[in-house]
Amino acid sequence: MAQRFQAEGVPVMGWTRSGRSVAGIASAPDLAALVAESDVLVLSLYDDAAVTDMLDALLALDLTGKLIVETSTVAPSCLTDRIEAFAAKGAGAVDAPIAGGPELVLAGQCGICVGGEDVAAKRALTVLAALTERVFHVGPLGTGMVMKVINNSMLQTYVTGLVEMMRLAKRAGLPLETAIKIVSHGPAGVPMVAARIPKILGEDKEVGFTVAGILKDNEVFQRVARDFGVEAPSLAAAELMQNEGIALGLADQDPAALIAEAYARA
């Protein structure tokens, strides 16, 4: 995201809890310095614990006039439980989770669903337009994350079904390349899998996201569904498939490896 902002001419400065820096992106020495230099603070963190720690750390600083844009895949309550505290500090906040991996962000093709009150959301949409044209204000605070849950749960469900069907393809004697290309480029295909065909076929070893990461997301998705009283057995099936992949040593591999491994082992 920082690289995309900078490529679009948006002044950007970064800071990470781990001390990691990104080539070509200015780094702040600490969080306080970052906040002092920024009008908009875009958060991208791994899980609920990281996000809540960061939000609480921000609340200890001067946030007058700041906008918090929370892009992480976490439970909506991480932010909704603190919105009154941010308002009291003179800051606005939105949840704006991103659909699409690093390659789509860099290409300006990711999707962003923004949840928040109108003034904060309008400001966020203006800022996030540098990342992609596909930015949507979907409702009040928290609904951005719910929309992400819906979108990415469908992808997880799709991959689970594809794993099953590639086992069938193998046992029937269909080449993996034939089966995956026909499915991906036809009415049953989805862009996420089509873009991963080189990874599925072993031609591209780059990892866009990890199997461990989608399992973490799945836990969040199931928790959000339960909070709204919705059963999601398809996500439970995806969780089982992801844990099987991790048991085979695929935790740090791209989810494409789940499909390739299913075919190989059928």
| pLDDT single digits (tens) 75-129 | 999 999 999 999 999 999 999 999 888 888 999 999 999 999 999 999 999 999 9
- Rounded CA gap, 197 and 166, in Å? 13
- Rounded CA gap, 104 and 111, in Å? 9
**157 contact partners, CB below 8 Å, separation of at least 6:** 234, 235, 237, 238
pLDDT band at 208; cut points 50, 70, 90: confident
Total-model pTM: 0.89
Which residue, 193, 186, 112, 187, is CA-closest to 157? 193
**54 contact partners, CB below 8 Å, separation of at least 6:** 17, 43, 45
